Structure 1
Amino acid sequence: MTVQTSRIFSLLLVVSVSSVIFILSQEELLKSWTTFPGKNGLRWESVSFDIKVWGKKGETSGAPSVFTEASKAKIVDSTKINPVTEPKSSTHGAVTETPMPLLYKTNFTKLPQWNFDDVYNQDAPPRLTTCAQSLRNSQDEKFKKAFLPNIRLFLHKDNINMSEWNRLSHFNNPFGFMEYKYDDVMASVKLIPKPKEPLLLPKPAGDGCVHCAVVGTAGILNGSKMGAEIDAHDYVFRMNAAVTEGFEEDVGNRTSVYVHTAHSITSSLYFYRKYGYKSAPYNEGIKYVMIPEGMRDFQWLEGLLKGQQVSSGQFQKERPRTYYSGQYNESRFYVLHQDFLRYVRNRFLKSSNLNATFWPIVRPTNGAFTLFLALHTCDTVDAYGFMTDEYNKYSNYYFEKYVKNKVIFYVNHDYVLEKNTWKNLHDRKIIKLYQRTDPAANRKRKTEVTLTHP
């Protein structure tokens, strides 16, 4: 055997051994992370991980399997119970003590499917309502089948443990913790207090119903004169660049709940200052709800909850509390749970773009998450400033008073799917969607496709 041949043989031997070790390690991963204890009759071990992985070089044959026949019935039943993981004393099996190995988005050419993808934590039954027109009383079969009135809305330090971490680590952000390291995220999650009260309650002098308006930023509201009607609701939800000053006649001036990400609350000042945006809404008693969109949000949360500067990442040295205009209050601050965000996507807004290679960035808009938050905390929901079929008659934003910019479609959101969903919910009398037919509205404008959201 020549020296060169010997070297080649040695190299092949090393590669072969490495491949075997890798395969065995993956087998161990599947064996180690396929059981999660549950309660109320549901055991995670009954939900086997029928995993199909799509790699960069091609797909596995056949369509992804979401449920095995053996586990399907229990998963369906789980929509009525709470599959939250139990503490160490559980008799339902040993709780995983260490974080599972990281999963990477680049290992999948489209959204991976897991048997437990449609299983969610649920809290105690929601408040009883005497409101006759409550959307919870809807007889629409499709809505009733998809809607979980007691889906877990909020993440806090008392409702996550290692087993929960490992379950959620199978989902990309903002639906889970894929690619994230346990210590990096838990540094802030362990600071999030458990909410002391529901997000909303019926008004003492009201009719027993919780009436809500959800106000988006679409140009359809420019000149609408809907302000008084919006402010007449018990509660008003807003999100992102919620400019009200100078536009009160069209959009009102009250804000009860403001939904945001670290990016939206910081960048709005930069992008929309020229339209009059000065700060996030800061009405007395306002409640702030954060969407944990990515690692930068957890870094923001740590600084916010500690009352300090952000220690690392995109917002390093920023002081988060200065963005809430003195109205930040720990008892009125909420963080949306990953299960709620995934449930909204899976059951109402599952885009076909999730089958594309850019699937990791595809998610519902902040406005969509806000509207569904209202659907789970209110009895009646009226939506204003959301996209309608005639969106191309209007400017992108209602606060574009003098310059009418065309509507922009960003590929990380499926605007057409959302538009059709709002119309569908309106037609089925789940929400009331403000729609406007105005011959004098802006001329039709072409939409522009941009790769990423600013």
Structure 2
Amino acid sequence: MKSKAKVLIFLLCITGIGVFLKGHVSGYLLQFQDRKPCACDTCLVEDEWLLQRANKSAEPFLSAKHNLSEYAFNWWKCLQAERRSYSFYKQTVDKLFQTFPSSPDFIERSPDRSRTCAVVGNSGNLNGSHYGRLIDFHDVIIRMNSGRTKGYEADVGSRTTHHIMYPESAMDLDTTTHLVLFPFKIQDLEWLMKATTTGFSGTSYVPVKSKIKANKDLVMVLNPAFMWYVHDIWLEKKGRYPSTGFMALVLALHICDEVDVFGYGADKDGNWSHYWEKLQNKKLKTGVHPGSHEYGIIQKLAEQKKLKFYTGL
């Protein structure tokens, strides 16, 4: 009888321990499941509307481990009449990563913080906007092409963490800013390697800088497949290819948790002008890019609260 009582007590103890552990483990798992990948109320990485448009194979940046598909290469090579082969492109990329970091450098996702991005376009609607302090408050501040800050700090801010360019729009950078190359042809990759070292001596449709000041450890190169993805999925093949500004915006949606957009669209007079210059040709529109269509998508994203769109003056 005593042995039966001992067995019963032993079984009750085991059951109690099991219930205790189950409660604690379940609580831990629920707590883990409830943790968001970022500290925002709504993380872009979890947004179903954006996930439907995301193509996991289209990595935003090139890396030493990434292989561009021949299909994507053939689309990309038509952008500016590239005549050299797929194998030559791969050889060039191999050389590229002998000079620059083998993988992109950006803020990792964390449940303890929200990565905020300001994408700053070059529209004349920034003049008089007084957005400068708001722009400078962000973690990541993306500017592009000939965008500058000196003399315009009150409206466009003074900080830049990532500056997007291609050879024909290149400018010198300080040592803390990432140079983000948007390549449209193999020569753009060759330019990057030579302009940051011995000097570039080639020609293009406009004069390009032979040498450029930039921190080689902070160089990043957009993946040509990402360009194709933006054109195919986001723009539904409208226009010849996306504008630099629109690709920058989609890039921000991929690498940030909260995205604020400034300096896009026409100015108050309906002109597509730059905030630092007086427009001479008022018939100038958006060229080969579907500017109105891109602008409409940005407005839709703002209406659906995927980003905040500051339209300026």
- Given candidates 200, 204, 207, the residue that maps to 2:107 is 200
What amino acid sits opposite 1:345 in the alignment? H
CA contact (8 A) 2:258 2:307 kept: yes
Quick check: 243-252 or 409-418, which moved more? 409-418
CA contact (8 A) 1:156 1:192 kept: no
- Given candidates 275, 288, 293, the residue that maps to 2:184 is 293
Q: For this pair of structures, how many residues does the alignment match?
A: 275
Distance in 2, Cα, partners of 1:413 & 1:318: 22
Distance in 2, Cα, partners of 1:152 & 1:255: 23
Distance in 2, Cα, partners of 1:202 & 1:137: 12
CA contact (8 A) 1:308 1:319 kept: no
Residues 80-91 of structure 1: matches in 2 within 5 Å?
none
Q: Per chain length, whose mean CA-contact separation is higher, i.e. which structure has more relative contact order (CA < 8 Å, sep 6+)?
A: 2
- Given candidates 270, 286, 309, the residue that maps to 2:199 is 309
RMSD: 3.3
Residues 211-360 of structure 1: matches in 2 within 5 Å?
211-265=116-170, 279-282=171-174, 284-304=175-195, 307-310=197-200, 312-314=202-204, 320=210, 322-324=211-213, 327-329=214-216, 331-353=217-239
CA contact (8 A) 1:176 1:338 kept: no
Alignment of 1:170 with 2:80, yes or no, is: no
Give the drift of 1:129: 2.9
Give the drift of 1:188: 2.6
Quick check: 168-177 or 226-235, which moved more? 168-177
Alignment of 1:385 with 2:263, yes or no, is: yes
CA contact (8 A) 2:61 2:104 kept: no
Alignment of 1:135 with 2:13, yes or no, is: no
Higher share of residues assigned helix = 2
Give the unaligned 5+ runs of structure 1.
1-126, 266-278, 354-361, 439-454
Give the drift of 1:150: 7.2
* Percentage of pairs with the same residue: 25
SS in 1 for 2:95: coil
Alignment of 1:374 with 2:252, yes or no, is: yes
Where does residue 190 of structure 1 map in the other structure? 94
SS in 2 for 1:185: helix
Where does residue 298 of structure 2 map in the other structure? 422
Give the drift of 1:229: 0.6
Give the unaligned 5+ runs of structure 2.
1-35
Distance in 2, Cα, partners of 1:232 & 1:168: 37
Distance in 1, Cα, partners of 2:121 & 2:172: 14
What amino acid sits opposite 1:323 in the alignment? I
Distance in 1, Cα, partners of 2:186 & 2:69: 15
Distance in 2, Cα, partners of 1:318 & 1:408: 22
TM-score, length-scaled by structure 1: 0.54
Give the drift of 1:240: 0.8
